Each structure stands twice: as structure tokens, then as C-alpha cells.
Amino acid sequence: MYNQLIKICPNTLEKVSFRSLTTFKIGGIARYVCYPSSVDELTNLVMFCKEQKIDTFVLGGGSNILADDTGFLGVVICTKRLNEIALLSPCRVRAQAGAMMSALAHFCKTHGLSGAENLCGIPGTIGGAIVMNAGAFGGEIAKIVESVTYFENGKVETKKKSQLFFDYRKSIFTNRPNCVILSVVLRLKKSTPEFVQENLLRFITQRQASQNVGMPSAGSIFKKVNHESAAVYIQNCGLKGAKLGDAMVSNEHAGFIINTGRATSKQVLSLIEKIKQEVKLKYGVELEVEIVVL
């Protein structure tokens, strides 16, 4: 199948460890990893895999993923090469799905556009941010979305923000594996590079002070509960520093599980269950996992 894949997408690799593909640095081997460099390559890959009944997984920055130790026998489609960002009008920006959030922040600063500063520290791609309606410091990406273009069932479609049903850490694209985001149009506010830079520095400083865990992680493991960070419940259960193998609840931020060496997905999942049980026992609260388990 490798020869067929490289005909569609020349940038295709075999047997790649998920430790190199995710920020958690956990997981087994991905049988094939494709890096399409055009929308045609991406859509042709998706159609080929669908026709051949091959499992696919679309990966952006890998910042919200826990990959299984057993690996993935299908095709991982990584969008990182689809990373163009362009100015459509004085306050509108189009970004391809594989553009990093940090690149968007820099682009907005250069053009004096405000509205995305609070998202600057999210270590993922714009496509991934749309799927889960990523947010930080009280703001979500939904706030600045105008429309999203995606590929599904052989068709390219565009939906306006009102059709995307954004909610806390979810959108119309959540749990919709056959749908691949291609690009996003964002509407921002005209400002100055100096004002945007000042905001960026403020949010970066806040993030470093509260979330600099110093080890590989997948970010916040759990969603908020009753508008309260899951970290509060976890910390109050005395679980900071709790460890299973090389998987550990961060001492800096109780909402993070960190990989202190060669942590396995089994260790992380067991630690997640331990946290959920103890929080449920003490507070009667059901924690819901935010990360994607592959």
C-alpha cells in the first residue's frame, strides 16, 4: 500500500512513533503517516482510504492526543504542511487547518489584528482548535470564527459560524471522523501591532506562570465542571504528584498529567481512572476527559 500512498502524497513515511508525533510523547507505531502539501493531496488521500476501507486519523499538532501503546495500523494524515495564512480584507484572515495557533498569533500581530491573543499559547493547529472549540483565559476560538471549509463524503463544503454549533470544547466537527477541516475564515478587530504585542506578552506570561509544567503533556486532561477547573478538585483530593509508572499528576498544575520519562498510554489511562474515582468519591463529581484517546 505504501507505493499507492506515495503516488497520492509523496511526503509519506512508514512506521513512525507517536512519541515523535504528539506533545505527550507517548504511543506505539503509526503504520503510515502522510503529510499532504495541497488540498488536492489531502482530499485524494481521504477518498483513497475510504475506498480501500483503511482507517484514518487526521492529526494536527498532536497537542491534545493520547496515542495507544499498540500503535495505529491505518493512515495518519498530518495537516502540518497545509499551513498558509492570508489576509482577505482589513479584518478577515483565512488560515489553512494545519497552521499553528502560534503562527496565527504572529500573523495577527504583524497586521495589527486583535482578538486571538488569548489563544496564542495553545500548542496546536487551527483545525484542531476548531474541532474542540479550543479556548484559554475565558475566550474560545468560536468567538472569532466567521466560517469553516471542510471535506466530507467526497464534497467540499463551507458553513457559517451559526451552523457550527460551537459549545464548550465541542463543535459540529467533534466525533465526526470522516470530516476533515480544510480552512477557516476568522474575523478580528483592527488594532496596532504594539497593542496586540502587549496583549500577547500578557497572556504568554499568564500561561507560563500557571501551565509551565516542564515535561511532555497533552494539556488539560479534563473539562471544567460547573464552570470550575478540574484542577481544583484534583488538587483538593491531594493528587498533585500522584504517579503510576512514568505518568504523574503535575505538581505545577493538577489538571495536567505529565510524562516524566517513558510513560505508556496504559499508565496514563490508569491514572485518569484513579483521579476520576477519587474526585467522584470526595465531591460526587464526574470528571470528563478532554483529550482525544487514539
* Distance separating alpha carbons of residues 173 and 194, to the nearest angstrom: 35
Q: What are phi and psi of 178, to 5 degrees?
A: -90, 5
Q: Is 169 a catalytic residue?
A: yes
Do 87 and 108 touch, CB atoms closer than 8 A? no
Catalytic residue among 114, 171, 220, 265, which?
Answer: 220
Q: Is 140 a catalytic residue?
A: no
Q: Is 290 a catalytic residue?
A: yes
Do 218 and 291 touch, CB atoms closer than 8 A? yes
Catalytic residue among 147, 169, 171, 217, which?
Answer: 169
* Distance separating alpha carbons of residues 236 and 94, to the nearest angstrom: 43
* Distance separating alpha carbons of residues 82 and 70, to the nearest angstrom: 28
Among 104, 77, 82, CA closest to 93: 104
Among 81, 112, 275, 261, CA closest to 200: 112
Catalytic residues: 169, 220, 290
